[in-house]
Amino acid sequence: MKKKIKLLFGSMFCFSLFLTGCQGQESDEVKEKEVEEKIIGEKLSGENVYKVSLINDTGNDIVGFSIKTDTMDYSENMLKEDEVFANEETRTLYYDATEAIENNETEQEGSEMQISPDYTIKLDFEDSSYELHSFPFEDVKEATIKFEDDICFIEYESLDQEAKVSTKDAEQRIKEELATQSESQENNVTTEQNQQNISEQQAVQQPAQQPVQEQQPVQQPVQEQPVQQPVQETPPADTGSSANEGCLGDSVETW
> Domain containing 141: what range?
39-182
Residue 55 lies in a domain: yes
Residue 138 lies in a domain: yes
Which residues in the chain land under pLDDT 50?
239, 241-255
Q: What pLDDT digit, counting tens, does each position of 187-231 carry?
A: 777 777 777 878 787 777 766 555 555 656 656 665 666 655 655
Contacts of 44 (CB under 8 A, 6+ apart): 94, 96
Total domains, the chain: 1
Residue 132: exposed, middle, or buried by beta-carbon count in 10 A (0-12, 13-18, 19+)?
A: buried
Residue 65 lies in a domain: yes
Residue 164 lies in a domain: yes
Beta bridge partners of 105: none
Residue 12 lies in a domain: no
Q: What pLDDT digit, counting tens, does each position of 33-57 carry?
A: 556 789 999 999 999 999 999 999 9
